[in-house]
Structure 1
Amino acid sequence: MAAAPPVDSPMEAEAKYNTEAENVVREVKSSDDDQESNTINTTFQPGVQDIEAVTITWSRTWLIVAYVLIWITYFIQGLVTGVTGALLPYVTSAFAEHSLTPTTGILSAVIGGVTNLSIAKVLDIFGRSQGYLLCIVLCTVGLIMSAACNNVEAYAASQVFYTVGINGIGYSLSVFVADTSSLRHRGLMQAFVSSPNLITCWLSGPISTAFLNGAGWRWAFGMFTILVPAVTLPLSGLFMWQFSKAKKLGLIASRQSGRTPWQSIAYYCREFDAVGLFLLSAGVAFFLLPFNLYTNEAKGWRSALILSFLIVGIVLIILFVVWEKFFVPVSFLPWSILQDRTVLGACILSFVLFLSYFCWSSYFGSFLQVVNNLSITHASYVMQTYTVGGVVFAIGTGAFISYTGRFKPVTLYFGIPLTILGMGLLIYFRQADQNVGFIVMCMIFISFAEGVLVICDEIAIMAAVSEQQYFAISLAVLGLFSNIGSAIGLTISAAIWQGTMPGKLAEYLPTVDQENLLLIYESLPTQLSFPVGSPERTAIQHAYGDVQQRLMIAGTAVWVIGVVSVLMWRDIKVINIKQTKGQVV
């Protein structure tokens, strides 16, 4: 038998790694004619310098390992998002508040969008791994709160932490991909690491069903409180380890601020524009919530609570503008970047894309179960058509951009028209008397277009910014517009539902069921308890169809703005544009 090869001691392995890393540095520097492109830019913020040091010193093997871990992290993120989304109607129904299904996400959507700018600051000032770790903690806290909530208000509060955390994880991964890929191949790599959704979309429904039929929805959240940290932490560890190696090689100088703790608090409050973040997030939330809550008040829009929310929201938004215009020392919103028409157009497109989606998607799962009599598993399969088609076409779009270097034509001549076609057809097919197959067809059209739009939108804003130091903040601004679009879409959805559904139920339900109208309106299980073909189920189905038609019209109409936003883009060719350094894709 052959002897086993000798195993290196820990000290020998460490020395071998340092030698390999030094060789990588020498190879990179010697293979590039531009010496400056492989040195740390000390004018950048510390977090950007740190990731530059990592990409300059690590090998292609560790780059591959990083992308494997990113792929796995995207897998768990997609699984968590899918299961929690499928369980949402049952969580609100458990407290007899089904009509508040979209309302629970409004505050979290607004705060989630605004706080991405703070996370961008953490990524740039403290480091990529530190910001990523913060998001993991927030997501886990939110999941724990969801598992323990005892009313809709507590669940909505948990969603603030969860949404900030889970969106922040995805956002941090997008920044990782941008840091470790060339602009030409960035779309393809972003689509590749999003490909786990092709698997998770089919798992969300069965997992949700298993928990609902077994341990209950609370245990689903409990399971993820363990799973999320276990899967996401290794990626952070990899980047920290690689950074420590780069620091040992002397690429990163020691930094001393010389500030006292109180001076540091004041410094970071100023750098993060804490006042502006509070005014904007609170103002938008207070302004949007009345459109969701007015039906719960006896006096409707004349209620003192509703009027107070509106007034406070408007005042806070005005104060935000005044603060940012005249008093802010460091603005969290980079107005100079938004002055670029491609950046502004990309942000508007992101706003429209998410506004349109959340106009019609909030009650889509309930619609499929009540009107088309699908189980929660099969309803989730139909809903995940959007995800599957989006991922497939995102990969194709990324490959197209890698080959041609162009992103505007495929957006303008394919993505936008196909979206409008699919949305327009759904206005007709989202009715009680239509076959679910036609709905799936429309969803395929919309999903293909979504795959094109998401990738091209991100590449547009990344192509418009010139340097790596703007990666995190430009993606955060894009996320801000998408989250505000989500919040407004949820608001429109809730306003149409709450303003129309009770009246339609009163119009269609038999007289004998009128006294149970509120229970039927607020509980999805109650709606499903009536057998298909019964007068009650037929009445509920017709009410759903009428409301869905209005939701689809609203979601389609906003795409006029989407067309204008893409016309604003410059037709930038991304081939040969260099933004990153070292060993990247």
Structure 2
Amino acid sequence: MLTAMDDNKHQVVDDVINTTYQSGVQDIEAITISWSKTSLVCAYVLITLIYLVQALVSGVSGALIPYVTSAFAEHSLTPTTGILSAVIGGVTNLSIAKVLDIFGRPHGFLVCVVSATIGLIMSAACNNVKAYAASQIFYTVGINGIGYSLSVFVADTTSLRHRALMQGLVNIPWVVIPWAAGPIAAKFLTGAGWRWAFGMESILIPVVTLPLFGLFMYQFNAAKRQGIIPKRESGRTPSESLLYYIHEFDVVGLFLLSAGVAFTTLPFNLYTFQAKGFGSPLIIGFLVVGVILLLGFGIWERFFAKVSFLPWRILKDRTAFGSCIVSFTLFLSYSCWGLYFTSVLQVVNDLDVAHATYVSQIYPVASIFFAIMTGAIISYTSRYKAVTLYLGLPMAVLGLGIMIKYHDPDQAIGYIVMCQIFLAVSGGVIMVGPEIAIMAAAADHQYFAVSIAVLGMSGSIGSAVGLTISAAIWQATLPTKLALYLPPDDLPNLAMIYEDIVTQLSFPVGSPTRLAIQHAYGDAQKNMMITATAVWVVGFASVIIWRDINVAGIKQTKGYVV
């Protein structure tokens, strides 16, 4: 699958960098033109290793979240800790995209590594849920940014036809490593404590990621020595440089889009603190300002931007727009039920931390396997719409629909495992389908990074909305149902039972109190699953409007690529 030029012929027309692109895009083209097959293989080995560590860190951190919030007697705030970080994580990828395009892929990647490390250190040292939520902003920005940067690199070094397959293959560690996450989390909980888990991760991230940064820089300098990258002497004064980068970053467009997304999504987090909820003037004001800013972004990009953040032709393309809506729907649906899932498995199904993690990891792990299969289908057929519409979406509805029926404690855990496998098929297909669709619509290497960032931002917004819905259902259903089901003797302890998973697990299985807790959990989970299923109506409509582009006929990259 490797395509390249002759080793000694760097000046083939197709392998000369496009000087109309921004500097970071020119630099990555120079790297792929100048490097060897060995360098390409080494890069993909390092990328796979980073995904391996990312899978481990994500699995361990996810298993620890209920215990971190419970340590401060605020288990019900489990999803709230992730809402703000999900919003900010999605928005900051837009800024990272411009860093990747203007200053270079290695520089943006390094910023993400530093942010993730700082977030993990803060998590290890936090002393309340607010501090933990703050740490999650840095961690989410960094860890999502690392994965995002790697996705951009895969796009830079693959043809569109084989991009989905390679993206699935480098994620293969997700098939293996998460099974170790549960036992590792359990060992920390029964041993050194969850703080040491975050401390271990803060060391692991830079140790594993920095070698790839070094390879990037080495190959960049090699391309400079070969004269592939033209000398850049701006001759600008400091004030002229400032104005230049304002235009290059499309600061106005970036501000309008980022602020618009933030003002539109934050009300879903803040409304619970307002007496009138969504009827509060503050919440209404946030939503109105958010919509105005987003409309302003479209107007700015259409009529005024000198260097467009995302060209108008892409913004109005139905395939690109539909891809973003599908990504939004996928993350919204999963976030409606996913974050409480390990708590449900422990309390309702009586699984320990390790086994609950095993079950919860079926969906993300098996999704990688089915993403590889989807990538192979796209490589063979050069089409992405049919597999998304006729396989991915129906399996999502099937898996979630069956989960509604088998959420009760008297149902065998095997039914839940079956549903997770159905959802994994869907997740694998939808993981790659929208990304290929939006890059096929963009068609130009210059817009790889921002296209992927906008797609990721859509998913982050979906996560924020889904987490808010999840928290709202949980906080509205669980305490009410506990008050209804708990034996009279336990009602004075309702607040502690509601807020602390350790207290919930302390009641023996089969006891009236544990049965009451399980029943209340089941009612809350059922409402979440119904919501998660219903939103896929939007997903179907979004895929139907895609154009079915033949990706085999689109050439976007240069040099040694897959």
Distance verdict in 2 for CA 1:204–1:269, change over 3 Å: farther
Mapped to 2, the partners of 1:140 and 1:182 lie a distance apart of 33
Mapped to 2, the partners of 1:348 and 1:459 lie a distance apart of 14
* Alignment match, 2:521: 544
User: Structure 2: which amino acid aligns with 1:435?
Assistant: A
* Alignment match, 1:16: none
* Alignment match, 1:368: 345
- Whether contact under 8 Å (2:391, 2:426) holds in the other structure is yes
Mapped to 1, the partners of 2:199 and 2:62 lie a distance apart of 15
User: Is 378-387 or 320-329 further displaced after alignment?
Assistant: 320-329
**Which of 104, 119, 134 is matched with 1:142 structurally?**
119
User: Structure 2: which amino acid aligns with 1:318?
Assistant: I
**Which of 275, 288, 303 is matched with 1:314 structurally?**
288
* Alignment match, 1:325: 299
1:155-209 C-alpha deviation (Å, 9 max, x unpaired): 1111111111100000000011011111111111000000010111111101111
Distance verdict in 2 for CA 1:155–1:515, change over 3 Å: same
Distance verdict in 2 for CA 1:502–1:267, change over 3 Å: farther
Where in structure 1 are there 5+ consecutive unaligned residues? Answer: 1-22, 30-34
Q: Is the aligned partner of 1:61 residue 2:35?
A: no
- Whether contact under 8 Å (1:324, 1:331) holds in the other structure is no
**1:529: how far off?**
1.0
**1:433: how far off?**
2.2
* Alignment match, 1:82: 59
* Alignment match, 1:461: 438
* Alignment match, 2:364: 387
User: Structure 2: which amino acid aligns with 1:213?
Assistant: T
**Which of 103, 123, 133 is matched with 2:100 structurally?**
123
* Alignment match, 1:255: 232
- Whether contact under 8 Å (1:285, 1:313) holds in the other structure is no
* Alignment match, 1:301: 277
Where in structure 2 are there 5+ consecutive unaligned residues? Answer: none
1:320-365 C-alpha deviation (Å, 9 max, x unpaired): 5346635876664544312111111111111111110101111101
- Whether contact under 8 Å (1:283, 1:314) holds in the other structure is no
* Alignment match, 1:432: 409
- Whether contact under 8 Å (1:420, 1:556) holds in the other structure is yes
- Whether contact under 8 Å (1:48, 1:468) holds in the other structure is yes
User: Structure 2: which amino acid aligns with 1:414?
Assistant: L
* Alignment match, 1:20: none
* Alignment match, 1:178: 155
User: Structure 1: which amino acid aligns with 2:295?
Assistant: V
User: Structure 2: which amino acid aligns with 1:493?
Assistant: S
User: Structure 1: which amino acid aligns with 2:449?
Assistant: A
**1:280: how far off?**
5.1
Q: Is the aligned partner of 1:151 residue 2:128?
A: yes
Distance verdict in 2 for CA 1:52–1:294, change over 3 Å: closer
1:10-68 C-alpha deviation (Å, 9 max, x unpaired): xxxxxxxxxxxxx9552465xxxxx3211111001111111111111111111111110
User: Is 141-150 or 251-260 further displaced after alignment?
Assistant: 251-260
Distance verdict in 2 for CA 1:237–1:199, change over 3 Å: same
User: Structure 2: which amino acid aligns with 1:52?
Assistant: E
Distance verdict in 2 for CA 1:498–1:300, change over 3 Å: farther
Distance verdict in 2 for CA 1:275–1:580, change over 3 Å: closer
**1:309: how far off?**
4.7
Q: Is the aligned partner of 1:348 residue 2:330?
A: no
3-state SS, counterpart of residue 393 of structure 1: helix
3-state SS, counterpart of residue 350 of structure 2: coil
User: Is 127-136 or 320-329 further displaced after alignment?
Assistant: 320-329
- Percent identical among aligned pairs is 63
User: Is 266-275 or 518-527 further displaced after alignment?
Assistant: 266-275
- Residues 82-121 of structure 1 aligned to structure 2 (within 5 Å): 82-121=59-98
1:68-124 C-alpha deviation (Å, 9 max, x unpaired): 011001111111111111111111111111111111111111111111111110000
Mapped to 2, the partners of 1:464 and 1:292 lie a distance apart of 33
Mapped to 1, the partners of 2:404 and 2:79 lie a distance apart of 20
Distance verdict in 2 for CA 1:566–1:372, change over 3 Å: same
* Alignment match, 2:217: 240
Distance verdict in 2 for CA 1:134–1:262, change over 3 Å: farther
* Alignment match, 2:555: 578
- Residues 192-211 of structure 1 aligned to structure 2 (within 5 Å): 192-211=169-188
- Whether contact under 8 Å (2:160, 2:440) holds in the other structure is yes
Q: Which has the larger radius of gyration?
A: 1
**Which of 476, 499, 518 is matched with 1:522 structurally?**
499
**1:274: how far off?**
4.8
Q: TM-score, normalised by structure 2?
A: 0.94
- Whether contact under 8 Å (1:359, 1:554) holds in the other structure is yes
User: Is 86-95 or 279-288 further displaced after alignment?
Assistant: 279-288
1:276-327 C-alpha deviation (Å, 9 max, x unpaired): 5556555655655555565567x46399xx6535534533543453466358
Mapped to 2, the partners of 1:317 and 1:270 lie a distance apart of 24
Distance verdict in 2 for CA 1:301–1:434, change over 3 Å: same
- Whether contact under 8 Å (1:286, 1:309) holds in the other structure is no
Distance verdict in 2 for CA 1:252–1:287, change over 3 Å: closer
* Alignment match, 1:26: 8
* Alignment match, 1:497: 474
User: Structure 1: which amino acid aligns with 2:220?
Assistant: F
Mapped to 2, the partners of 1:514 and 1:307 lie a distance apart of 36
CA RMSD of aligned residues (A): 2.1
- Whether contact under 8 Å (1:37, 1:581) holds in the other structure is yes
User: Structure 2: which amino acid aligns with 1:112?
Assistant: G
**1:388: how far off?**
2.2
Mapped to 1, the partners of 2:386 and 2:294 lie a distance apart of 37
**1:560: how far off?**
0.7
- Whether contact under 8 Å (1:347, 1:477) holds in the other structure is yes
3-state SS, counterpart of residue 252 of structure 1: coil
3-state SS, counterpart of residue 8 of structure 2: helix
**1:541: how far off?**
0.3
- Whether contact under 8 Å (1:103, 1:289) holds in the other structure is no
- Whether contact under 8 Å (2:24, 2:102) holds in the other structure is yes
* Alignment match, 1:6: none
User: Structure 2: which amino acid aligns with 1:26?
Assistant: N
Mapped to 1, the partners of 2:492 and 2:269 lie a distance apart of 24
3-state SS, counterpart of residue 253 of structure 1: coil
* Alignment match, 1:7: none
Mapped to 2, the partners of 1:411 and 1:325 lie a distance apart of 32
3-state SS, counterpart of residue 177 of structure 2: helix
**1:271: how far off?**
3.9
Mapped to 2, the partners of 1:468 and 1:177 lie a distance apart of 12
Distance verdict in 2 for CA 1:277–1:142, change over 3 Å: farther
Mapped to 2, the partners of 1:82 and 1:322 lie a distance apart of 39
- Whether contact under 8 Å (2:250, 2:305) holds in the other structure is yes
- Whether contact under 8 Å (1:25, 1:56) holds in the other structure is no
Mapped to 2, the partners of 1:431 and 1:549 lie a distance apart of 9
Q: Is the aligned partner of 1:401 residue 2:378?
A: yes
User: Structure 1: which amino acid aligns with 2:125?
Assistant: A
- Whether contact under 8 Å (1:124, 1:472) holds in the other structure is yes
* Alignment match, 1:12: none
